[in-house]
């Protein structure tokens, strides 16, 4: 049995679905169900005894300790976080609370549980912390990609809170011996991605005939990884990663934002052409830039490849096609998200923004 936190979010839910498709080992899924948690993503697991869902906060030490004692998992995989940079700019409080204070309480509960384990169970236990490349800050155009030894230089409240959580995880190993491993991954995309992040927002807005808001000049670079490749990397790290090591996860797919938006438009032009024959590109609108917007992220994933033999399966071309097709064939999932808090959020973020 493993304990997954944040398993109703984008990556966590993909991880749970992939895990149970490949293994009989049960999952306890602890998720607070914030705006980003969506149980509809997990409907295929209804009635499946291998999936135990618990609504709760990683910061609730009593709850986490009880779950650990009752279910005796061999690992905790911590996906739970506030994860959207734009939201962290509007309201950083929840990011500090969940990403820093919540991780602290989770680590303490895990330490208490692990401390009582004996023999084989104690030796095998792992606390795997899922983090981001954003902790390393922003790269210049000619800079080498982030390696695991790159200095931490977080620039947004989100990345600073994730950096703090990474430091706590490291310290809980060095001080208390807790068997931890951290992964730092680049931008993910794929099915079940909440439609306030770049790729799903562009797909959903394009289909709705709305503008496609590109921040600043659209030349910010992100390094994109298909979510199922991130999930396979985490499984591999859990299986064979060395204690207290960090592993960068990425797909060698650096792209400027505007190129991503053009690719999404071109795929929609092919798969769902507009009735008037125009391209979805005509809906692109340049808007005011994000404050403190990091210019470029790029991951050097050679350590994970050479030491653990992990490689991504999807190219950007295959992954983005699958993603666009997924959104086209799952309009119900999107509609249900949109009928919730999503609408209010979109209003706060884009209302009153003039073209840059
Ligand atoms: P997400 O926002 O889609 O999901 C986060 C999940 O955590 C939600 O289900 C939410 O309900 C839950 N949650 C939030 N606060 C909680 C709390 N206090 N207790 C319990 N559950 C809580 O995020 P995601 O994109 O799936 O990211 C998952 C993890 O991966 C995060 O830690 C994020 O920092 C990291 N990461 C994300 C990306 C990316 O591109 N999305 C890239 C690298 C790393
Ligand atoms: P996002 O999906 O929010 O991920 P992150 O900020 O963690 O990288 O944004 C990806 C990139 O797309 C980032 O450079 C900001 C940009 N962006 C836009 O240009 N327009 C948008 O509407 C959004 C949501 C993001």
CATH no. for 2-190+225-250+293-314 = 3.40.50.720
Residue 297 near residue 223, CB atoms below 8 Å: yes
Ligand nearest to the CA of 63: 1
CA of 124 from ligand 2 middle (Å) equals 38
Residues with CB under 6 A from ligand 2: 85-86, 187, 197-198, 201, 213-215, 220, 222, 257, 290
**What pLDDT score was predicted for residue 349?**
59
Coil/strand/helix, residue 212: strand
Q: Give yes or no for residue 60 having a pLDDT over 80.
A: yes
pLDDT digits (tens, 9 = 90+) for 266-304: 999 999 999 999 999 999 999 999 999 999 999 999 999
Q: Identify the helix (H) or strand (E) that includes residue 87.
A: helix 85-90
The three-state secondary structure class of 44 is: helix
Whether the Cβ atoms of residue 257 and residue 297 lie closer than 8 Å to each other: no
Sketch the domain layout of the chain as residue ranges: 2-190+225-250+293-314
**CA-CA distance, 127 to 121, in Å (whole number)?**
13
Q: Which of 45, 16, 4 is nearest to 228 (CA)?
A: 16
DSSP-derived pairing of the beta strands 221-226 and 75-78:
unpaired
Taking CA atoms, 284 is separated from 206, 218, 279, 287, 290, in Å, by 9, 11, 10, 10, 17
Question: Does pLDDT of 199 surpass 80?
Answer: yes
> Which atom in ligand 2 lies closest to the alpha carbon of residue 86?
3
287: Cα within 13 Å, side-chain hemisphere: 16
**Helix-strand-coil percent breakdown of the chain, rounded to 5?**
50, 15, 35
Average pLDDT, the chain: 95
Q: How far apart are CA 300 and CA 82, in angstroms?
A: 25
Mean pLDDT along residues 331-353: 68
Taking CA atoms only, the protein residue closest to ligand 1 atom 29 is 79
Give the angle subtended at the CA of 141 by the CAs of 140 and 147, to the nearest 5°. Answer: 65
- Does residue 119 carry a pLDDT above 90? yes
* Ligand in nearest proximity to the CA of 193: 1
247-264 tens-digit pLDDT: 999 999 999 999 999 999
Q: Which residue bears the tokens 């030491």?
A: 307
Please tell me what DSSP assigns to residue 142: T
Residue 244 has pLDDT above 90, yes or no: yes
pLDDT at 339: 85
- Active site positions, annotated: 133-134, 158
CA of 37, closest atom in ligand 1? 9
The CA–CA distances, whole Å, from 203 to 277, 318, 337 equal: 17, 16, 14
Distance, in Å, from the CA atom of 280 to the CA atom of 152, rounded to the nearest integer, reads 39
State the pLDDT at residue 351.
Answer: 63
Banded model confidence at residue 342, pLDDT cuts 50, 70, 90: very low
Q: What region, left, alpha or beta, does residue 309 occupy, with left being phi > 0 and alpha being psi -120 to 50 degrees?
A: left
**Planar angle of CA 317, 319, 320, nearest 5 degrees:** 70
169 CA to centre of own chain: 18
Using the mean position of ligand 1's atoms as its centre, give its distance from the Cα of residue 227 in Å.
13
Cα torsion at 104, 105, 111, 112 (round to 10°)?
A: 160
Tell me which DSSP letter residue 29 carries.
E
- DSSP E strand stretches across 83-220: 126-132, 180-185, 187-189, 212-215
pLDDT score at 345: 47
| pLDDT at 346 > cutoff 80 | no
By the 10 Å C-beta count (0-12 exposed, 13-18 middle, 19+ buried), 247 is classed as buried
What are the tens digits of pLDDT across the range 2-37? 999 999 999 999 999 999 999 999 999 999 999 999
pLDDT of 344 strictly over 90: no
Pairing relation of β-strands 254-256 and 221-226? antiparallel
Which residue minimizes the CA distance to atom 9 of ligand 2? 198
Mean per-residue pLDDT for 147-165? 98
Res 343 pLDDT > 90: no
- Look at residue 354 in the predicted model and tell me its pLDDT: 43
Asked whether the beta carbons of 246 and 185 are under 8 A apart, the reply is no
Count of other CB atoms within 10 angstroms of residue 223: 24
């Amino acid at each position: 049995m493993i304990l997954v936190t944040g398993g109703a979010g984008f990556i966590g839910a993909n991880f749970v679905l992939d895990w149970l498709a490949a293994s009989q080992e049960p999952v306890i899924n602890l998720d607070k169900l914030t705006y980003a948690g969506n149980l509809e993503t997990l409907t295929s697991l209804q009635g499946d005894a291998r999936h135990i869902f618990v609504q709760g906060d990683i910061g609730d030490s009593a709850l986490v300790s009880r779950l650990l004692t009752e279910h005796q998992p061999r690992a905790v995989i911590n996906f739970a976080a506030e994860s959207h940079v734009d939201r962290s700019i509007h309201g950083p409080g929840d990011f500090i609370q969940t990403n820093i204070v919540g991780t602290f309480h989770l680590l303490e509960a895990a330490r208490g549980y692990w401390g009582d384990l004996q023999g084989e169970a104690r030796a095998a236990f792992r606390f795997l912390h899922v983090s981001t490349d954003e902790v390393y800050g922003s790269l210049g155009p000619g800079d080498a990609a982030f390696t695991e030894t790159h200095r931490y230089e977080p620039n947004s409240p989100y990345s600073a809170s994730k950096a703090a959580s990474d430091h706590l995880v490291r310290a809980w190993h060095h001080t208390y011996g807790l068997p931890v491993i951290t992964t730092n991954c680049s931008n993910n995309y794929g099915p079940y991605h909440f439609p306030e992040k770049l790729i799903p927002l562009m797909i959903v807005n394009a289909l709705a005939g709305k503008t496609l808001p590109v921040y600043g000049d659209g030349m910010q670079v992100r390094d994109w990884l298909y979510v199922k490749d991130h999930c396979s990397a985490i499984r591999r790290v859990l299986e064979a990663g060395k204690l207290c090591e960090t592993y960068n996860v990425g797909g060698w797919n650096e792209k400027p934002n505007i190129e991503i938006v053009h690719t999404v438009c071109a795929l929609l032009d092919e798969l769902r052409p507009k009735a008037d024959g125009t391209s979805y590109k005509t809906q692109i609108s340049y808007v005011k830039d994000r404050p403190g917007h990091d210019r470029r992220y790029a991951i050097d994933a050679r350590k994970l490849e050479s030491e653990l033999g992990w490689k991504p399966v999807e190219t950007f071309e295959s992954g983005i096609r699958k993603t666009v097709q997924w959104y086209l064939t799952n309009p119900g999932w999107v509609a249900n998200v949109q009928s919730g808090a999503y609408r209010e959020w979109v209003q706060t973020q884009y209302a009153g923004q003039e073209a840059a």
